[in-house]
Amino acid sequence: MMEDKALQYKIDAINTLSEERLGLMLFEAALRNAKLCQEAIASQDWTQTVKHGRLVQDIMVNLADAINRDHPNADVMRQLYLYCWRQAINAQMAHRVSDLDPVITVISNLIQGIRGFLESSSTSSKNVVGQEASVIDFAG
């Protein structure tokens, strides 16, 4: 019973997050799993390599598929997400930790950008009447 309430709390918390915060959670999960995949490759733990590498792949390919293709930067972002997806596959297949280095760099930069946006949007114009709130478009 207590576990059900804890799970429901987590689900409710996720459902009420902004698109930017959800995106941040996805990128943080991808980053965490990319690092764990590197550790698993280094220790030759292939079960964990597949588990963590697969999570990185799933996140990146779903981001690529969810892009608003009408956005002017959609192709660039889609290619970036698919590059990370391919690198995660390569790392698993070749058992090369270094294949995930650029993925970690890309995801870290995306996280930094989202955090900067969230910080600036929370400190700048606090919902000025008649001003539409700005949001991150993950396609660009």
pLDDT at 122: 76
- Options 1.25.10.10, 3.40.50.300, 3.40.250.10, 1.20.120.340; which CATH number does 19-105 get? 1.20.120.340
Which of 1, 65, 61 has its CA nearest to residue 30?
61
Tokens of 41: 């490759």
For residues 98-116, average pLDDT: 97
- Four-residue CA torsion sign, 114, 115, 120, 126: positive
Token pair recorded at residue 99: 């294949």
Interval 43-76: pLDDT, tens = 999 999 999 999 999 999 999 999 999 999 999 9
Q: How confident is the model at residue 129 (pLDDT cuts 50, 70, 90)?
A: very low
Containing H/E element for 67? none
Q: Give the pLDDT score at 139.
A: 53
**What residue ranges do the domains of the chain occupy?**
19-105
